[in-house]
Chain A
Amino acid sequence: MRKLILTLLTVFLAVGLNAQTRTVTGKVTDEHGEPLAGATVVAGSSYAVTDLDGRYSLSAKTGAEVTVSFLGYDDFTFTVSGAKQDIQMVPSEATMLNESVAIGYGKTTKKEITGSVVSLKSDDFDKGSFTSAAGMLQGKVAGLTVTNPDGGDPNASFELLLRGTGTLVAGQGPLIIIDGVADADIRSINFQEVETIDVLKDGSAAAIYGTRGSNGVIIITTKRAKAGHSSIEYDGQVSVQTVARRATPLTASQFVDVINKYSPGNVASLYGDDTDWFQEVVRTPISHKHSLAVAGGSDSFSHRTVVNIEQNQGLLKKNDVNKYLYKTNIHQEAIEGWLSLDYNLNYVHRAYSGANYDIFRQAFIHNPTEPVYDKNNTLSGGYFRIDGAMDYLNPVAMLNERENDSNVDNIGASFRATLNILPIQGLKWDNFISWQTERFESREYSTRYYPSLIGKDGKAWISNSTSSNIQWESTAQYSKMFGLHSVQAIAGYTFQQNVSQSSGLENTGFDSDLYKTNNIGVGSALKEGMAYMESYKESSRYIAFFGRAMYNWSERYLASVSLRLDGSSRFGANNKWALFPAVSVGWRISQEEWLKDKPWLDELKIRAGYGVTGNQDFSNYKSLLLMSPKGHYYHNGYWGSSYAPRSNANPDLRWERKSEINAGVDFSFFKSRLSGTLDLYYRHTTDLLYTYKVPVPPYDYEELFTNVGTINNMGAELTVSAIPVKSKTLTWNTTLTLSSNKNTLAKLTNEEFKDGSYKMGHIGDPINTKIQRLIEGESIGTFYGPVWKGIWEDGTDDFVGSIAGKVAEEYWSNLGTAYPFLNIGWSNTLHYGNWSLSATFRSAIGGKVYNTYRACYENVTRIGLRNIISSWLDDTSFTGNPIHSSKYLEDATYLKLDNVSLSYDFNFKNPYLKGLRIYFSGQNLLCITGYKGVDPEVSLSGLEPGIEGTSYYPRTRSFTLGLNLSF
C-alpha cells in the first residue's frame, strides 16, 4: 500500500512538473501541398478534425505524442514541442502491403503471406442493408460463391461455397471464426460491426485448421475496443422491398379463356371470381435497423459496446424477424505490459415468425377464379374450400390459421489473456476461453381451420433446443528479427466440446383455439394415445495440437510450414487422430536489387503452397452401431420392447482428406494504382463419405456410411484492383474478381462398395423423375435426360431417339452441369468530395438451371382445378403431358447489379457532432438473364445443384435510406 501511494505521488509530481498544456495549431496538406480536410489529429484524449483548409487546433501537453491520420495516407506522428506544427502527409503506397492479414492463430502482413488469403476491410464491403454479414461477401472474393437460395426470406441463411464442391454428403460451408470463436453462427453478429473478413482459401493456409479446413476458413473480426477519446456512433436505416421477379400463373381472365378454348371439359372449375392469390399473401415489407456503438478509454483500459435493434419484415405476410443485439468488448493492459486481457460478452435475441414456403406454391397453383372466402362454409372457418382436393390448400387460410413464433437467444462470453514474457522479446503465451450457448424455442399453433388439419380440432407443437460450445485454446507464440532473418512461430492446443439437446411436444384435439400452445396437455389426442413427444441429446469433442513456423529473409524469400494433429470424437475407433501438414513458399521478386528501385513496381510476388486438410462436418455417432427400439416381442404372456440396429458400426470411419496445390502471383504497380492476385489451384479430395448398400449379413444394417470416393477441383482465380482516377476531388476504385472451377467426380465406388445411389435431383409430380446423375469422370450436378427436339403435330414433345414418345433412362444424354464456367464480381467506388457512389455487379457465365416451374406448370393438361404458368400462352402448341427433357433445362448465365449506394459525408467542427453521413442504397436492382424462370441464381451446393424449386420465396429488390451520426 505504501508503495502504491509512493507511486501515485511520483506520477502527480511528474505531471505537475512536465504537463504544460498548450494549444497546438497547424495545417495538414497532401503530397502536393493541397489542404486535406477531415484528417483526424489525436493526442491522448483530445481530438481534432481538420477543416476545409486543412487547419486544426488541438490542446495538448508538451511532450505528448500526436497522431495525424487520413485515409490513404500513412499516419504521421510528432511530439508536441511548439505551438505550431504543419504536416505534409505521405500517401500510403505501401499501406496495402503492410496491412495485417489474419492467418489463423495469428497475423502476418499482406507482403509476407505465402498462402492464398483474401483480406477484406470495411471499405471493401457494399454499403446498404444486409440480413447477415455473409451477404457482404457476395462477389467480393474470387472463388467464393455466396448464394441466398431462399430468396427474400429475412430469416434465410446464406450458402457459402469455396472453390467448388469437394464433398458428397459432408458439410460444404467454410469454417467460420468470429473473434476467435470457431464454428460461430454468423447470424449472431451484426453486419455493421464487421471490421475485417479474412478468407483462407488454399490448403496451405487452411491446414492449420486440420479437419475443419477443407471448405476454407472465414475469419471475421468485429470492431474492437480502442484507446482514444469517447466516440459514439449511431447508424439507422429504413428499407423497403419490392418483388424483383416471380413466376406468374394465369390471371383469372386468362384462366377462363384457356379453359374455354383448350380444356372445355373443365368448365366446372370456373368459379367466377377474380383472385390474385400471390397478392393475397404478400405485402410491401418495411424494415428498420438501429445500431448504437460507444467506444473509448485509455491505453490500459478501453471498451466498445454496441446495441443493435432490427425489425425486418418479409415479403410474405406475418413473416417477421426481429433481432436485438448487445455486445461489449473490453481491453485491458496489466502488470506493466506483461498481461493483455480481452473480454467479450454478447447477447443476441432473435424473435421470428418463420415463413411457410408452401404458401407460395399453393398461391401459384390456386385457381384464380375461386374466391378467397366463403362465408357460409362454417367447417372451413369461412374460407373457400374444395372438399377432397389433395394437396390443395387455401393459401390465405394457411397464412391466417397458423401462428409460428420462434425465439433464439445466443449468449456468448469469451476471455483472452495474453502473457507477454517481456525478458524474451517477441514471446507470448496466449489463452482463450469461450463459452457460447444457443437456446431455441418454437411454438406453432394451427387452428381448427388450418386447411390440411380440418377435423383435427387444432394442433399445437412446441419444440425446444439448447446447444452449448466450450472452447479452450492455448498457444505460445514467438516472433523475432535476427538481422535479415525474421521468424514467427506458434505452437498450440485446442479443445472444443459441443453439447446439444432438444425436445418436442405435439397434441391435437383442442376444445378451443384460445389455448394456442399455452395448455398443450388439454388436447384430446393425448388421452387417445395419439399425441407425440420426443427428445434428443448429442455431444461431440474436438481436440488438436498444432504448430507453425514462418520465416523470411529480408522480406524477400518467404516460407511457412505447419502441422496439425487433429482428433474428433466423430471418427471411428481405429482412426481417431489425423495429421495435416502444409508448406508454402514465396518470393518477392520486387525486393530483388535489380527491381527494387523501379518506380512503377510496388510489389511482385510469386508463391506456391501445398497443404492437407480434412472435412469432418458430418453427424455424430456415424461410426457406431446404434440400437433403436423397433417393435415388441411376446414373452411369457407379455409384450416387451425389442431393439434393432439403425446403423452399422464403422470403426474405420474417418475424415474426408483434401490435398491442395496452389500457386499464385501478387502484384501491385504504379503506387497501388493497379494491383491484383492470380491463383491457380488443384484440389484432390479423397475418402469421400457416402452411404453404400452392403449385404446383410455379414453387416447388421443394409447401409454403411464410409469413405470411398474422390473429387477433383481445379481452377483459376484472378482479382484485379485499380484506381483509374485519382485526383484531389475524384477517386474511382474498382475491383474485378474472376474465378473458374472445374469439378470432377473421379471416383464414387470401389471394389468393396459398389452400390451407392447415383440418381439425384428428384422432381415431383408430374415429372416424377430424377434428373441428375453422379457419374465417375463427370461433374457433380450433371443433368441427364432426353434431348428435346420440338413438338409433334399432336402436341406432344419429340425427343432425339424416342420410341413411342419416350426415351428409356439408359439412353439419356448428358445435358450439362449446373456449375457456371465463370463467376465474376465487379465492385466500384467513386469518391467525389464528400460524395461516395458505389456499384457492385455480379455475373455467372455458363451452367444450367432446371426450370421446375415450366416443367411442372407449362402445360395445359394440368389446368383444371389448378392453375398453370402464364408462359404456356407463349407457345400453345404443346398440349401433351410433361416429360423431363432438355426442354426445361436452361442456361443459367446472368448479370446482376447487386448494389448501388450513394452517400454524403458532412464533416463538422462541432465538438458535439463530429460527423454525419446520409446514404441511400439499392440492392438486387437488376438481373439480366435469358432464363425464363424466377431467378437463375439457385443453390449450387449439395448433390442436387441448379434446380429451382416451386415452393420459392421470391427475391426482392430493396431500397435503404440510412443515417450515420458520430459524436
Chain B
Amino acid sequence: MAMACINLEEEVYSSISKDAFFASENLLSIYSARAYTTLQAWGSEQSMWTMNLQLGNEVTVPMNSVGEWKQDRYAQLQTHNVKINNELIERSWDYCFNGIAACNDVMYEIEKRAKDFDGKDRILAEMHIIRAFYYFLAIDCWGNIPYSVSKEEKGYPEQKGRADMCKFVEDEILKYRDDLAIENTPLYYGRVTQGMANTLLAKLYLNSEEWTRTPRWKDAEDACKKVIDSHQYSLCGNYKDNFKVYNEGSPEAIFSIPYSTVYTESDHNSFILFVLTLDGYLGPTYNINSALWDGFVGQPDFFATYDDADTRRADTWIYGQQFDKTGQPLHVVIKDKKTDAITEEFDYIIDPSMEGLVYDKTGRKPTQGARLGKWEFQTDGLIESDQTSMDNDFHVFRYADVILMYVEALVRQGGTKVAEAAAVPEFQQIRTRAGLAPMTAAELTLDNLYTERSHELALEGWARQDLIRFGKYLEAWWGKPAGQKYMKLLPIPDAKRASNPNLNQNDGY
C-alpha cells in the first residue's frame, strides 16, 4: 500500500510494451519477425522495386488514356531528372533505414535481455545479414549513407562513403555467415541462409569496381561457387515455375519475400503488380475483381531486344491478341451510359511498340504497351475488390542470377576463365531453357552477357544496378536522354537531411 501511494509505473493494456516480448521464445521470434516483415514493402506501388523498374530501361509509366499516371514522380524517374523530394526515392530510403532500425533494435534487445535459447546465434546472425542486405541496397542507391549499427549510439548518425560501407557489409557477412542455416528447407524458406549471405556477398563483390574502384571479380567468383557447391539449389525445368502463383517450392529460390492475398494485403506490404499493370478490360480475363490502375508497361526498345526464339519474352510480357475468360479473342465495345449507343469498339491487341505515343503528351491507349506478365496472375477469384496483393512470392535472389553472376565474374577475369564460363552447365541450361542455343566462349562478350542477364532477370529489380555495372546507365533510351555521371547516385530525400544534419547531399542535386 505504501508503495502504491508513490508508484507511477504506466500500465499498458491495448498495445504490447516491448518488455512483454521477452517473456517467451515464441514471443521473441514474433518480435524478430519484424525485420522480415519490413521486407514486404518491396512489391508495393512506391517501393525500392518499382523505383528501380522506372530508373531502368525495362518499364515505363506514361499517362494513360484517362489522364492518370501523369504524376511527376514517374516522369522524374523515367527521364533520370530526379528531384530531391521524389516520393519513390523517399519510400525506398525508408525501406532501407526502417529495416536497418528494426534489425538494430531486435539485435539490441536479444543481446541485452534474452536468456540463451536454441538458435539464438542463428536469429542474431539472420538480423545481421538482413541489415547487411538493407545497407547493400542503400549503398547501391545513395552511396553515401548514414551509418548506425547500435541502438546505444546517441546523436545523429554520421554519413559514410561507399567504400567504408562496402567494407562494413563484407565484414558483417563474413562474420555471421557461418551461424546461418545452410539447408534450403521449408523451415528456412523466406529466411536468411548461408546461400542468401553468399549471394549477397557475390553481388557486393561484383559491383565492387563500380562502387569502390577496386575490382573483386575473383572474390565474386568464389562467393558464387560457394552457393553452387552447397548443392542446395538447382534450376527449375520450366522458367515460368519460378513465377507461378504458388511458387514457394521453386528450387531456384535463394532468398524470397513471401506474399499472400490474405496476409500481406495492405498498401505498404503487398505485391501489387497486377494492379499496376492490368486494366479493367483485362481483369475479367484473370477473374480479378479489383481496381486496376492501368499504369506500368514495357519500354518498346527493351521489348525489341528479345530474340524471337526467346520464350522468356512471352513469359515476361503480355502482348498481341488478348482473350477473354472463355478463351475467345477479346473485343471491347464501349457504350454510352445514357443512350446505350456504341461509342467505340476495338479488338484488344496489344502493341508493344506503342507506336504514335508521345511520352506524357498523348494518353496511352489500353492496347498500347506490353503488360508486365512475368508473375502468373491468379485466376482463382480470390483477388476481390479490397485485396491488393498477389499470392506469388518474390524471389529476390534466384539461382539463375547466381549462375549468371558466376559466369560474369569469370568472363570479367578473362583468359582461360572465359572458356571455364562457357563450360558452366547451368549457364547453358538457362540458355536452352529459354529456347536459345548454348553460348560459345567466343560469344561470351560482356554485351551478350548483359543481354542474357537482362532477359533472364527482367523485371526482378536488378536492371538499374546491372546497367550501371555494364556501363550503359547513362546512355539515352526510350523516353530518356543521355545522362550525366552524377545520376548514378540518387539524391538523399530532403526530409531525411532535415532530420539528420550530418547528411550531405550527393553531388549534382
Contacts and interface: CB of A to CB of B under 8 A. Distances in A.
Interface in B105-147: 105, 146
Contact of A755 (B17, B94, B155, B495): B495
Interface in B1-20: 5-18
A649 B18 CA distance: 10
Contacts of A752: 155
B34 A754 contact: no
Contact of B500 (A569, A635, A695): A695
| A530, A570, A633 — most chain B CB neighbours (10 Å) | A633
A85 B145 CA distance: 97
B101 A696 contact: yes
A538 B33 contact: no
B498 interface: yes
B37 A630 contact: yes
B189 interface: yes
A537 B14 contact: yes
Interface in B279-306: none
A620 interface: yes
A632 B5 contact: no
A536 B499 CA distance: 33
A541 B500 contact: no
B6 A543 contact: yes
Contacts of B485: none
B496 interface: yes
A621 B10 contact: yes
Given A536-B14, A543-B6, A633-B37, A697 B104 contact: yes
Contact of A695 (B146, B186, B262, B263): B146
B30 A631 contact: no
Q: Describe A's contact surface by its main secondary structure.
A: strand
A644 interface: yes
A698 B8 contact: no
A605 to B, nearest CB: 39
Nearest to B386: A530
A644 B34 contact: yes
A641 interface: yes
A642 B264 contact: no
A628 B18 CA distance: 10
A535 interface: yes
Contacts of B21: 627, 643
A569 B9 contact: yes
Categorize the interface residue count of chain A: 35 or more
B359 interface: no
B470 interface: no
A910 to B, nearest CB: 56
A961 interface: no
B98 interface: yes
A567 interface: yes
A632 B264 contact: yes
Nearest to A630: B37
Interface string A781-797: 00000000000000000
Given A543-B6, A626-B17, A639 B260 contact: yes
Contact of A642 (B37, B148, B498, B500): B37
B180 to A, nearest CB: 16
Contacts of B37: 630-633, 642, 644
Interface string B176-209: 0000000000110110000000000000000000
Contact of A626 (B5, B12, B34): B12
A627 B499 contact: no
Nearest to A647: B15
Given A543-B8, A634-B190, A640-B30, A624 B101 contact: no
Contacts of A697: 97, 100-101, 104-105, 146, 148, 151, 157
Given A632-B263, A633-B37, A634-B258, A627 B16 contact: yes
Nearest to A693: B499
B14 A627 contact: no
B156 interface: yes
Contacts of A632: 37, 260, 263-264
Interface string B20-41: 0100000001110110111010
Contacts of B86: none
Given A570-B10, A625-B17, A698-B104, A636 B148 contact: no
B97 A696 contact: yes
Given A695-B157, A696-B101, A630 B499 contact: no
B213 interface: no
B257 to A, nearest CB: 9
A424 B203 CA distance: 87
Contacts of B100: 696-697
| B29, B37, B100, B501 — most chain A CB neighbours (10 Å) | B37
Given A540-B10, A541-B7, A694 B16 contact: no
| B14, B16, B386 — most chain A CB neighbours (10 Å) | B14
B496 A624 contact: no
A576 interface: yes
B266 interface: yes
A38 to B, nearest CB: 53
A620 B11 CA distance: 10
A614 B445 CA distance: 73
A501 B105 CA distance: 31
A699 B40 CA distance: 21
| A620, A621, A642 — most chain B CB neighbours (10 Å) | A642
Contact of B14 (A493, A538, A569): A538
Contacts of A627: 15-18, 21, 31
Interface string A944-967: 000000000000000000000000
B499 A755 contact: yes
Given A642-B30, A693-B499, A754-B499, A636 B187 contact: yes
Nearest to A530: B386
Given A570-B10, A631-B37, A631-B40, A698 B148 contact: yes
Given A576-B8, A693-B498, 12 more contacts: A536-B13, A536-B14, A538-B13, A577-B8, A633-B37, A633-B190, A642-B34, A642-B37, A643-B21, A698-B150, A698-B153, A700-B102
What 5 A-B pairs come out closest when comparing CB atoms? A634-B258, A537-B13, A632-B263, A697-B101, A626-B15
Interface of A: 493, 495, 501, 530, 535-541, 543, 567-571, 576-577, 620-621, 623-628, 630-637, 639-646, 649, 692-700, 702, 752, 754-755
Interface of B: 5-18, 21, 29-31, 33-34, 36-38, 40, 94, 97-98, 100-102, 104-105, 146, 148, 150-151, 153-157, 186-187, 189-190, 258, 260, 262-264, 266, 269, 386, 495-496, 498-501
